[in-house]
Each structure stands twice: as structure tokens, then as C-alpha cells.
Amino acid sequence: MENKTHFDWKLAVRYGLLAGAVSLSVSVIGMVELFAQRDLIAGVLTLGQVILFLAPVGLSYIIAGKQPPGKKGYALLAGLITSLVASLPLVILVILATSFNLREFLPNVSPALINTLTFGQGVIPGIFILMIVMGILGILSAGMYLLPERFRKPIMMGLLWTLIIGMFSEILTERLRSFFGVGISKVVFSGKALRPTTALVIFIIVTLISAAWYRRGEAVKERIADSPTMQSKQFRWGVFAVVGVIFLLLPFLLGTYLSEVANNVLIFAIMGFGLNIVVGFAGLLDLGYVAFFAIGAYMMALLTSDADQGIAGMSFWLAIPICVAVAILAGITLGIPVLRMRGDYLAIVTLAFGEIIRILVLSDLLKPYIGGAQGILKIPKPTIIGLDLVKPDQFYYVVLLGCIFAAFISWRLSGARLGRQWMAMREDEDVAEAMGINLVSTKLLAFAIGAGFSGLAGAIFASKLTSIFPHSFSLMISINVLCMIIVGGIGSLPGVIIGSLALVGLPELLREFKEFRLLMYGILLIVMMLARPEGLWPSAVRKRELLAYQETGPTADPTAVESET
């Protein structure tokens, strides 16, 4: 009997509407227009266009995969329909915006946005161009699915890297210029974007390399992994040393601006290590983590500032242990009342603590002491043997020192008795207590050490900025750090750095992101929990647990403090 499969129109239309809704959303909330100012490939592609077309292209690719195998025409048709349907909401938006003044309601539906959507060709031709471009992209991306894997993967890699390099052209130009002079940088980049020809060259090179890697890579990797040098201790120390040297020389490679970014990344990483102990190791979801950051920063300001609020006029190095000690004390003080709380109630209470501290800092009540909304100014930078560490590339070493300190302590603790007590407590408090773990001291130690790291980060932060304001200590910081460790992988130490690079470093390099940072974080939190709860660089234990969780269902508990009710 002939197996007759009909083409699933409904599915294609539904996917198209979904993609259209996403594209329409990113347009009307202003993302497309904002990112349209960042060229990736000069005159060809802007970041705004990438964001606009991302959903239709992605869903065309996915729907091509849902077609019955062997029906190549179906896959292409599905891709075409999905992307064409996806273009309809945008077309309607363009028509509406040109006939009515939509801006009254939606301030971001600006003439500039319409211009971007219609490729600057006027309304009627622009609509057709938009639909044609969408359709072609849909077919191309569906066609991509039909390619055999050995072609598909390298091509995708090539595209990805071209986009990434294009995205960072501004910084790469600046770096190339300072190392090789203007000449080279002019060849590769035009203004702040890739030249089309170099983009093509990069695409071809990356594609070829990854094609070669695809054919031979696995074998090579295995051979290296099996070789005895790879497994020896010396080799691991060697890797360690190389990484260390790279970290030490980083400011010379990066220059002033990127050093500043690196400083922020490392400061957040210090906080990440601290929260990783509280949330990742001990399983206590703390949303008021910013409180200790604020306490550390304000202590530093009070102890060292030359302004009226300064009380001691200490040096940075003398003040820093005091800041950490005060933060630890605060951690214990705030920890005691919540010792008996678990899970989501703990999260809400800590959030309330964080907000209370923020409001108190802003209020008139404490204004005589810590300056209210005007903050505290004139915090000196640290000095080493008469040398003021003023510039970001000098200050980097202070931050690096703090970060190494935090990382080292976290690393040693994770394997120590205390670390394993935390993890036992995370899995099941009652069982842990029955095994003889003193819950009170174990929990308090987690809060204390976490708070200490946060205080350290705060103190360094205050000294870096030389002035602090209450607005720097909003709930957003807590959420930011939480996102970081979730993205990196809860309980994983390299994950903290990865998370910090991705969530603190990237948005600083792409400054337009600033406005939509929290929107992205929101999406990221949801997507990570849905698709990759173990994070980008999961810890080995957690990976195993999650595997068991997926196999046995919810009885084995990966992230929770307690089991299902």
C-alpha cells in the first residue's frame, strides 16, 4: 500500500505565526531598531536584521526536520511557508504604521524601524522585498537541513564565526590597530564592521577548518586523550601554568577598555563564587545577595574615603580584611533568623532583606552617615609600594588577586569535609542531620563564606569606581549573579567564570544590549531551565545527577533543596 503523507499545512502556518510573533515583538519593543545601528558586515548585514530573522530562520530549519524523510520538496515548502507566514505580521505592522500614527501607543514603532523593515526602499517595494528575503531565507534554512551532516556542520560553524567576528569588529579593530597599525585593520574592517570580502574569506576559512576537523577531529582528539602525557600530573600543571601566565599578561593584550571589562567580569566572578557556595553547594537560594555586596562597598567607602563620610582614612589593604569581616558578620546575622526556612520561602525572605538594605541606604535615616542618594565620593585606589593602581589595566591585578583567592577557597572547600556536608544538606536536610551533620553551623558557614566573598567583591568594586551610590545595589545585581551561576552550571567553578564572561562581559562589549539586558536574562533563565538545567559547564557530580534525573524521573532531585511534595 502506498504510504500517502499529506503536507501538514497547519503545522507550517502555526510555526510561521509563532516566528512572526517573535519577529514582530522584537521589532515593536525596539530591539531591531537599536541593533540596526551595529553593522556586522558593512552594508550587508546589521545585528538588528539578524535578530529580526532569527526566529523565522530557526523555525524554518526546525520544521524542515519535522517533514517525512525522503520528501525534500515538502521540507523546502514547509520552510517557505513558515517564513512567508512569519513575514505577514511585519507587513501588517509596516502598513499600519504608515497609515496611522502608531507611535502614540508604541513609541518604538518609529520611521527608522519602518525604514529598516522595508530595507529603505519605500513602503510598497519594501514589503515585497521583505517577503522575498524572508522566503529565500526560509528555503535556504530548510535546505540547510537537507544537506548531509558533513557539509551542514562546517557551514553553520562558518556562519556562526563570521557573525561573531562581525559582532566584535569594533573592539577587534581597536586591538588590531594598536598591535599592527592602521593598515591591517583597514583591510579587514571598514568602520566598525567587517568588509564583505573579508567576511567571505573568514567564512571560507572557518568552514574549511571545521570540515577538516569534522572528518579527522574525533580521531585526533582520541589519540591525544589516550597519550600518556595527557594524563600525567605534569601536563595538568603545565596547563595550569599556561592559563596562569595568560591571566597575568591579559591587560597587555587587552588594552585599557577591555581591561575595564575584564575587571567587571572578575568582580562579578568573585560574587559568583560566593553565591555558588550558598546556592550551588549548600542549596540555599539567596536572592538578597546584593546586601553583602553593598555592605562590603559601603564599609570600604567609610573606612577609606577622603570625603566627609569617611571615618578612618585607612589604606585599601588595611580596609579590605575589615570589609570582609563585617560582611561575614552580616551574613551570620541575617543567616540566623532564616536557619529554619527552606526553599522558596528562604528565597523570598532573603529578597526582602536585600530590598530593606537598599531602601535603608537610600533613606534620610542613614543619610548623615552614608550620604543617602548622593552616595560617598573620593574613595582612593589601592597603592602598592608607592605605585597608585589607577588605570584599569593596573587595577586588574587587584581584582585578579581577589578572584584567585575566592576561586582557590571555593575549590578547596568543594572537596573538603565542609563542602561535602553542604552537598549532603542540599540533597536532603533531614537525612544530613540524621548522619550527624550540624545543620546550624553548616548553614551559617555557607551564609558567612558566601557573604564574605560578596563583601570582598563590594570592597574592590567601591575602590574601582572611587565613588558609590545606592542605585548600584539593586535587586538586579542579585539576579545577575544568580543567572551567572545558573548559566555557567550550578555548583561548577569554571562555570562561574564562563557565566560571568557571558552575562557581564558580553553585554559590556555590546553596549546596545544594556537596555535589554534584563529581558535577555529573563529569557535566558527560562530557556536554561527548560533546555539545559545543568548549565554550560556543569560540575561532574551535577551532570551525573541530572542524567539519573532524566532517566528515573523527578524522584532524583537535581537542583532542589527538598524533594517533591
SS3 label, residue 224:
helix
- Side-chain-side CA neighbours of 532 within 13 Å: the count stands at 12
User: Cβ closer to another protein: 163 or 284?
Assistant: 284
Region near another protein per CB under 8 A, out of 72-80, 175-183, 350-358, 456-464: 350-358
- Spatial neighbors of 117 by CB under 8 A, at least 6 apart, are 27, 32, 52, 90, 93, 94, 126, 130
Contact 475, 351 (CB under 8 A): yes
Binds another protein (CB under 8 A): choice among 282, 327, 424, 561:
561
As to burial, measured by CB atoms within 10 angstroms (0-12 exposed, 13-18 middle, 19+ buried), residue 506 is middle
**Long-range residue pairs from 343-346, CB within 8 A, at least 24 positions apart, any chain:** 343/285, 343/560, 343/561, 343/562, 344/285, 346/284, 346/285, 346/286, 346/561
Binders in 530-559 for another protein, by CB under 8 A: 530, 533, 553-554, 557-559
**CA 90 to CA 557: how far, in whole Å?**
44
Query: Does residue 526 touch another protein according to CB under 8 A?
Result: yes
Residue 502 in contact with another protein, rule: CB under 8 A: no
Binding window for another protein (CB under 8 A); candidates: 24-32, 159-167, 398-406, 460-468: 24-32
Distance between CA 529 and CA 552 in Å, rounded?
18
From 168-176, 213-221, 238-246, 520-528, give the range in contact with another protein by CB under 8 A. 520-528
Indicate the helix (H) or strand (E) that contains 156: helix 149-167
Residue type, 485: I
Question: Which of 355, 433, 508, 512 forms a contact with another protein (CB under 8 A)?
Answer: 355
* Binding to another protein, residues 283-342 (CB under 8 A): 285, 287, 336-342
CA distance 457 to 463: 10
Number of residues that bind another protein (CB under 8 A): 63
User: Applying CB under 8 A, which of residues 142, 188, 299, 482 lies at the interface with another protein?
Assistant: 482
User: In the bound complex, what is the minimum distance in angstroms from residue 156's beta carbon to another protein?
Assistant: 26
DSSP string covering 322-348 = HHHHHHHHHHHHHHGGGTT--HHHHHH
Considering only residues 160, 182, 518, 547, which one is a binding residue for another protein as defined by CB under 8 A? 518
Dmax over Cα atoms in the chain, in whole Å? Answer: 91
Stretch that binds another protein, among 87-95, 124-132, 351-359, 455-463 (CB under 8 A): 351-359
Q: In which element (H, E) is residue 193 found? A: strand 193-194
Backbone angles phi, psi at 194, to 5 degrees: -70, 145
Q: Specify burial of residue 1 (Cβ count, 10 A radius: 0-12, 13-18, 19+).
A: exposed
CA distance 301 to 369: 11
Cα–Cα distances in angstroms (integers) from residue 484 to residues 407, 421, 505, in the given order: 15, 24, 11
Tell me which stretch binds another protein (CB under 8 A): 291-299, 322-330, 360-368, 402-410.
360-368
Taking the complex as a whole, the smallest distance from the CB of residue 364 to another protein amounts, in Å, to: 4
Is 101 a binder of another protein (CB under 8 A)?
Answer: no
Is 159 exposed, middle or buried (CB count within 10 Å of its CB: 0-12, 13-18, 19+)? middle
67 vs 265: CA distance, rounded Å: 44
Place of cell 507550517: 12
Joined grid coordinates for residue 518: 534584563
Give least dist CB 483 to another protein, A. 8
Residue of 351, 418, 487, 498 interacting with another protein (CB under 8 A): 351
CB of 245 to another protein, least distance (A): 37
If one asks whether residue 29 binds another protein (CB under 8 A), the answer comes out as: yes
Q: Which is nearer to another protein, 18 or 171 (CB)?
A: 18
What is residue 96's three-state secondary structure? Answer: helix
Instruction: Rule CB under 8 A: choose which of 523, 541, 547, 550 binds another protein.
Output: 523
Q: Which of 105, 149, 387, 552 binds another protein (CB under 8 A)?
A: 105
Q: Is residue 232 involved in binding another protein (CB under 8 A)?
A: no
Task: Find the binding residues for another protein in span 426-455 (CB under 8 A).
Answer: 440
For another protein, which stretch binds (CB under 8 A), given 8-16, 103-111, 157-165, 320-328? 103-111
Beta carbon nearer to another protein, 37 or 383? 37
Rounded to a whole number of angstroms, the minimum distance from the CB of residue 185 to another protein is: 34
**Which amino acid is residue 157, in one-letter code?**
M
Chosen residue from 7, 50, 72, 108 binding another protein by CB under 8 A: 108
Q: Is 373 in the site for another protein (CB under 8 A)?
A: no
Part of the chain binding another protein (CB under 8 A), chosen from 41-49, 249-257, 348-356, 451-459 = 348-356
Q: Is 362 in the site for another protein (CB under 8 A)?
A: yes
Per the structure block, which three cell numbers stand in for 206?
Answer: 572557518
Based on the shown chain and the rule CB under 8 A, indicate whether residue 563 belongs to the binding site for another protein: yes
Shortest Cβ 218–another protein spacing (Å):
33
Task: Provide, rounded to whole angstroms, the least separation between the CB of residue 345 and another protein.
Answer: 5
Residue 479 touches another protein, criterion: CB under 8 A: yes
Report in angstroms how near the CB of residue 160 gets to another protein at its nearest.
25
Q: Which is nearer to another protein, 78 or 102 (CB)?
A: 102
Residue 343 touching another protein (CB under 8 A):
yes
The answer to whether residues 253 and 174 touch, using CB atoms and an 8 Å cutoff, is no
> What is d(CA 29, CA 312) in angstroms, rounded to the nearest whole number?
49
273 contributes a contact to another protein by CB under 8 A? no
Cell 557565566 locates to 499
Residues 6+ apart with CB under 8 A from 22: 54, 55
Lookup: cell for 207 = 568552514
- The contact set with another protein (CB under 8 A) reads 25, 28-31, 105-108, 285, 287, 336-345, 347-349, 351-353, 355-356, 359-360, 362-365, 440, 479, 482, 486, 515-516, 518-519, 521-526, 529-530, 533, 553-554, 557-565
